[in-house]
Amino acid sequence: MRTSSGSNRRRPTARLRAMPDDDAPRPSFPPGGRVPLIAHGPVYLRPGERRDIPVFLRWMNDSRTTRTLLMNNPIGEAMEERWFDQMLEHHGRDRWYFVICRMADDRPVGSIDLRDVDVRNGSATLGIVIGDPADTGHGYGSSAIRALVAFGFDQLRLERIQLEVFEYNASARRVYERLGFVHEGTRRHAFYRDGAHHDDRVMAILREDWAAQARD
Ligand SMILES: CC(C)(COP(=O)(O)OP(=O)(O)OC[C@H]1O[C@@H](n2cnc3c(N)ncnc32)[C@H](O)[C@@H]1OP(=O)(O)O)[C@@H](O)C(=O)NCCC(=O)NCCS
């Protein structure tokens, strides 16, 4: 599935510490003592699996979700399988692609990736989709971005993470700004949708911006 398009002081696993009050409700995750490698708040990130394809198809064939994505045409199973195979070829090299899952019940709610990973210059481009509109506005997107940005800076040694966001995608722009992404420029009439050209914004966060947030 395509994903084109604050401060994070706690360690990702901090929420999983034992709770002092035995009667207090306990998070259902991690069953069996799993501690996910890439996580923040209510979500963790795992690699995409072939069994995810039906849910990817549901998300990417919903115009409520794709209206703010570059990818905006119907997708079939064979196309998605071909895309999945290509994604696997790149995963861990110049791309890191993950499914966003809820800690509470492992349910997938979206996907997120770093693509065009350039190890020489330390740069990459982030894309994210929360697949079902019913799952937006619960903090999953913000938490997934925090988790992936931390992974990019702390594990991949990136210097800069950028993204492109449609000018009319105001809610996404607010999320990115809140997380410390800076508006670097506007590409006028960069894409065509519904009979008109629209602008998009390039936004980015540097390693030093991220570190400054952690110090605040
Ligand atoms: C843009 C997108 C990734 C944001 O993800 P999200 O999970 O909805 O984001 P969040 O829930 O973290 O934040 C969205 C809003 O919910 C609020 N929110 C955050 N945590 C919340 C919580 N626990 N409970 C209720 N609301 C919450 C945020 O304050 C934010 O409010 P705002 O719109 O006033 O700024 C998602 O809407 C999406 O995938 N949209 C479709 C595809 C897309 O546009 N992708 C981005 C392309 S650049």
Please say if the pLDDT value at position 6 is more than 50.
no
Q: How far is the CA of 143 from the centre of ligand 1 (A)?
A: 10
Coil, helix or strand at residue 213:
helix
Looking at the structure of the chain, the number of domains it has is 1
Give the per-residue pLDDT at 19. 35
Average pLDDT over residues 89-118: 97
Give the per-residue pLDDT at 215. 86
Q: Residue 113's Cα: distance from chain center in Å?
A: 6
Does residue 170 belong to any structural domain of this protein? no
Coil, helix or strand at residue 107:
coil
Average pLDDT over residues 2-10: 48
Q: How far is the CA of 22 from the centre of ligand 1 (A)?
A: 33
Average pLDDT over residues 34-62: 96
Does residue 30 belong to any structural domain of this protein? no
| Domain encompassing residue 130 | 35-161
Q: Please name the residue whose Cα sits nearest to atom 30 of ligand 1.
A: 137
Does residue 13 belong to any structural domain of this protein? no
- Number of helical (H) and strand (E) elements in the chain, helices listed first: 6, 8
At 163, list the tokens: 């993204």
Q: Please name the residue whose Cα sits nearest to atom 19 of ligand 1.
A: 139
**Are residues 183 and 169 in contact, defined by beta-carbon separation less than 8 angstroms?**
no
CATH number for the domain harbouring residue 51: 3.40.630.30
Please say if the pLDDT value at position 7 is more than 50.
no
Pairing mode, if any, of strands 160-166 and 123-130? parallel
Confidence of residue 34 (pLDDT cuts 50, 70, 90): confident
Does residue 204 belong to any structural domain of this protein? no
Q: Which amino acid is at 23?
A: D
Does residue 11 belong to any structural domain of this protein? no
Coil, helix or strand at residue 108:
strand
Average pLDDT over residues 15-26: 40
Could you report the per-residue pLDDT of 205-215, keeping only the tens digit for each? 999 999 999 88
Does residue 110 belong to any structural domain of this protein? yes
Give the per-residue pLDDT at 5. 57
The residue whose CB lies within 8 Å of the most ligand 1 atoms, and thus the one to mutate among 71, 142, 168, 200, is 142
Q: Please name the residue whose Cα sits nearest to atom 34 of ligand 1.
A: 171
Q: Whole-structure pTM over 0.85, yes or no?
A: yes
Average pLDDT over residues 41-53: 97
The residue whose CB lies within 8 Å of the most ligand 1 atoms, and thus the one to mutate among 103, 175, 176, 199, is 175
Average pLDDT over residues 9-35: 46
d(CA 125, CA 148): 11
Percent of the chain whose predicted confidence (pLDDT) is above 90: 81
Could you report the per-residue pLDDT of 66-94, keeping only the tens digit for each? 999 999 899 999 999 999 999 999 999 99
Q: How far is the CA of 58 from the centre of ligand 1 (A)?
A: 19
Among the atoms of ligand 1, which is closest to the Cα of residue 171? 33
At 51, list the tokens: 């069994």
Does residue 112 belong to any structural domain of this protein? yes
In 3D space, the residue among 55, 47, 99 whose CA is nearest the CA of residue 75 turns out to be 55
Does residue 69 belong to any structural domain of this protein? yes
Note the helical H segments in the chain. Answer: 53-60, 63-66, 77-90, 140-154, 170-178, 207-215
Residue that wins the pLDDT comparison between 14 and 111: 111
Could you report the per-residue pLDDT of 156-165, keeping only the tens digit for each? 999 999 999 9
Give the per-residue pLDDT at 214. 84
Confidence of residue 141 (pLDDT cuts 50, 70, 90): very high
Could you report the per-residue pLDDT of 148-198, keeping only the tens digit for each? 999 999 999 999 999 999 999 999 999 999 999 999 999 999 999 999 999
Burial 40-68, CB ≥16 within 10 A → b, else e:
bbbbbbbebeeebbebbbebbeeeebbeb
The overall average pLDDT reported for the chain is 89
